[in-house]
Chains A and B, each alone.
Chain A
Amino acid sequence: MPDQLLYAMEVSLNGLMAGIMYSLVALGFVLIFKASGIFNYAQGVLALFAALTLVGLQQGQIPFSHVINAIFGTELHSFGWTLPALVAIALTALVMVGLAWLIERLVLKHLVNQEPIILFMATIGLAYFLEGLGDVMWGADIKKLDVGLPQGISETIDAITFNAFGYGFFIDRLDIVAAVVAALLVASLTLFSQYTKYGRALRAVADDHQAALSVGISLRFIWVLVWSIAGFVALVAGIMWGSKSGVQFSLSLIALKALPVLMLGGFTSIPGAIVGGLIIGMGEKLFEFFAGPLIGGATENWFAYVLALLFLVFRPQGLFGERIIERV
């Protein structure tokens, strides 16, 4: 086979893997948008906050030590322990649930029945707040996240493809883990929403708030639940992205990567988030591969958006979104 084609295949495979990482973030958006109609811009910052908390707990950092040191002149830094990864993940999940409860209690409860744009702005405010809080709690330096996920080139795939084509593909083992985790996540979310009592309540709320209230479903509990799940998804995304590129401020910007995925897949569809992620991931890698050298490179910043924009002109609700029906 010609080299060019092999490279293109490798690039598109890597694109698919990157797309799965985008989908992980997009999933959190879809969950919250479906259940409460809130376009949650803070999802990326939630992932950053989760990753920061995970690293902090694992390495036994003292929260707010910077502030305490600045005010009282002390030299506090660390409790001096190292938690096993699973314990730290469980604790972080608890923190995310607590955070979901606080968000419902302090923010959403007061904003019921507001216009969508107001709610959207509130989540941007929330994003600012969490970004500041994460830095104040755990410090702003770049941290290394290591929960024991495999990293580096996958020799198996390298060997298989080398035998098949005479050229070994480079696939990061972390990306493969991410793909498996994403598949598990989607499967368990689907099972949860189809076969459990709370899952059904969740779908009822997504369908019609008032009807759900009238059959005795507590909206506020559902919101805490859905924000907790979104927090958990953010934790998973934070672990994956954090292991890949370190825990730092730029992690919160993955929200911006997830937005075109959402547009393409539709704001209300979980499979849409996955398929959209795959299309965007592969599309932007291939475009960069073929057209990038001609027009100056770094096209990944905008290609996804332009692709999604062009797509929306033909199908305004995205691939799998609910059809927009307007009545006067």
Chain B
Amino acid sequence: MFYREAGDFKTSYVDDSQTFPIRFDRMRYYAVLVLGFGILPFVMNDYWANAVFVPFLIYAIAAIGLNILTGYCGQVSLGTGGFMAVGAYACYKLMTAFPWMPMPVNVLLAGLVTAGVGVLFGLPSLRIKGFYLAVATLAAQFFLVWLFNKVPWFYNYSASGQITAPERTLLGVAVTGASTPAWAKYLFCAVFLFALAWLARNLTRGTVGRKWMAIRDMDIAAEIIGVNPLTTKLSAFAVSSFYIGIAGALFFAVYLGAAEVGEAFGIQKSFLILFMVIIGGLGSIFGSFAGAAFLVLLPVLLKNLLVGGLGWPTDLAAHIELMIVGALIIVFLILEPHGLAQLWRVAKEKLRLWPFPH
């Protein structure tokens, strides 16, 4: 009834090719923006920021990054944790070496450094395909974590081997360090997420994105119609690593404050983000958001339910939680292998026809 193209007349090509062609979608998009930037920062408190919103925003950035590589370009990667570590350590080195540099510049430069490392580890993808490549990216994961553990230069020779984010302010408000207000953390990450998601949406529907998808769908055929696999695959690795590096930098500087590489950026992180991408939906920006939200909220809910609600001991609850997460993932893959994004598409299609059945 209210959700349809009919009656929404476009008078220019720009209008015709906009991201949200249906008026209801546009309104919803603006409503989310108003909620995210106009209301939430004012009601944010420490618990909600640290337990839900900041991890959600950061994981969403990482999930978009991995989705570009895996969902759009078809290259499965298990090295996400390692690339996040590159972003985190690059950010740390920049923060401590150039204390005067504004924080957003640090984060962006950390992303660029990660993009370079990503291209390096992406080179084998020109020869290796499928699961062989997935396992090969594990080399990046283990090597990078080892490197940051063993070379003291990366953690500035600190005795604990940890990296700790010093306080940096932006426009007079602390954005990293212990005295950061919850709303500043939230807003800092939210601005990055918004900008990066907007960029990703527009990249993926332009020339670059179409080349990625051509390579994903059939690389040989893509090559024959003139898509250069070298530049296409490496650009996917670069853009994806750029996003993941930014996520890593934010994860360390804004969310954790102090990090130990094996614990914060281990192999579990790679799997977690891959889960987000798969459960959210491969090849969908909305799916990255949905997957990140699902996997951030699920443990919080389960923990509140089992420990808070039923009063079980924490270690037992942790094991049961593991079982439930595992079982849910399987159930999810069985019921909807294309992820939450597909459910969303189906719902929208239903809504477009409603109230008529056909």
Contacts and interface: CB of A to CB of B under 8 A. Distances in A.
Contacts of A276: none
Contacts of A120: 131, 134
Nearest to B221: A328
Interface of B: 70, 76, 124, 127-132, 134-136, 138-139, 142-143, 145-146, 149-151, 218, 220-221, 224, 267, 271, 274-275, 278, 282, 312-313, 315-316, 319-330, 333-334, 337
Looking at B138, B145, B224, the one whose CB has the most chain A CB atoms below 10 A away is: B138
Contacts of A302: 139, 142-143, 146
A33 B207 CA distance: 37
B127 A136 contact: no
B164 to A, nearest CB: 22
B138 A305 contact: yes
Given A107-B334, A306-B139, A308-B139, 9 more contacts: A66-B316, A128-B323, A129-B322, A133-B323, A136-B320, A267-B131, A297-B150, A301-B146, A312-B124
A106 B333 CA distance: 12
A305 B139 contact: yes
15 contacts: A70-B312, A121-B333, A126-B326, A129-B322, A132-B323, A133-B323, A136-B319, A260-B135, A301-B145, A302-B146, A305-B138, A306-B143, A308-B136, A308-B139, A316-B129
Interface stretch (A11-19, A109-117, A177-185): A109-117
Contacts of B131: 39, 116, 120, 267
Contacts of A297: 150
A189 interface: no
Contact of A125 (B135, B149, B316, B330): B330
A73 B56 CA distance: 38
Nearest to A305: B139
A316 B333 contact: no
A187 interface: no
Contacts of A129: 322-323, 326-327, 330
B323 A124 contact: no
A144 B128 CA distance: 41
A301 B329 contact: no
B135 A111 contact: no
A121 B278 contact: yes
A125 B326 contact: yes
A74 to B, nearest CB: 14
Nearest to A123: B330
Which of under 10, 10 to 19, 20 to 34, or 35 or more describes the interface residues of A? 35 or more
A111 B321 CA distance: 24
A128 B218 contact: no
Contact of B274 (A121, A135, A256): A121
Contacts of A107: 330, 334
A143 B271 CA distance: 27
**Interface majority SS (helix, strand, loop, mixed), chain A:** helix
Interface in A126-153: 126-133, 135-136, 140
Nearest to B315: A140
Contacts of A130: 326
Interface string A291-322: 00001111101100110110011001110000
Given A132-B326, A302-B142, A328-B221, A313 B275 contact: no
Looking at A129, A133, A295, A317, the one whose CB has the most chain B CB atoms below 10 A away is: A129
Looking at B124, B130, B136, B324, the one whose CB has the most chain A CB atoms below 10 A away is: B136
A326 B220 contact: yes
B276 to A, nearest CB: 11
A262 interface: yes
Contacts, number: 140
Contact of B136 (A121, A135, A263): A263
A296 B76 contact: no
Given A121-B275, A256-B267, A326-B220, A70 B329 contact: no
A302 B143 CA distance: 5
A111 to B, nearest CB: 6
A73 to B, nearest CB: 11
B122 to A, nearest CB: 12
Contacts of B334: 107, 110-111, 122
B319 A313 contact: no
A302 B121 CA distance: 14
B76 A117 contact: yes
A326 B223 CA distance: 13
Contacts of A115: 337
B323 to A, nearest CB: 3
A140 B149 CA distance: 28
Given A114-B337, A116-B130, A296 B329 contact: no
Given A117-B278, A121-B333, A70 B316 contact: yes
Nearest to B149: A298
A117 B216 CA distance: 13
A211 interface: no
A76 interface: no
B331 to A, nearest CB: 9
A133 B323 CA distance: 6
Contacts of B322: 128-129, 131-132, 135
A303 to B, nearest CB: 9
B215 to A, nearest CB: 14
A122 B330 CA distance: 5
Contacts of A111: 333-334, 337
Interface in A86-121: 106-107, 110-111, 114-118, 120-121
A67 interface: yes
A262 B135 CA distance: 9
3 closest residue pairs by CB, A with B? A128-B326, A129-B326, A132-B322
Given A128-B329, A131-B322, A309 B337 contact: no
A127 B326 contact: yes
A259 interface: yes
Contacts of B274: 121
A306 B146 CA distance: 12
Nearest to A118: B337
A5 to B, nearest CB: 28
A136 B323 CA distance: 9
A309 B139 contact: yes
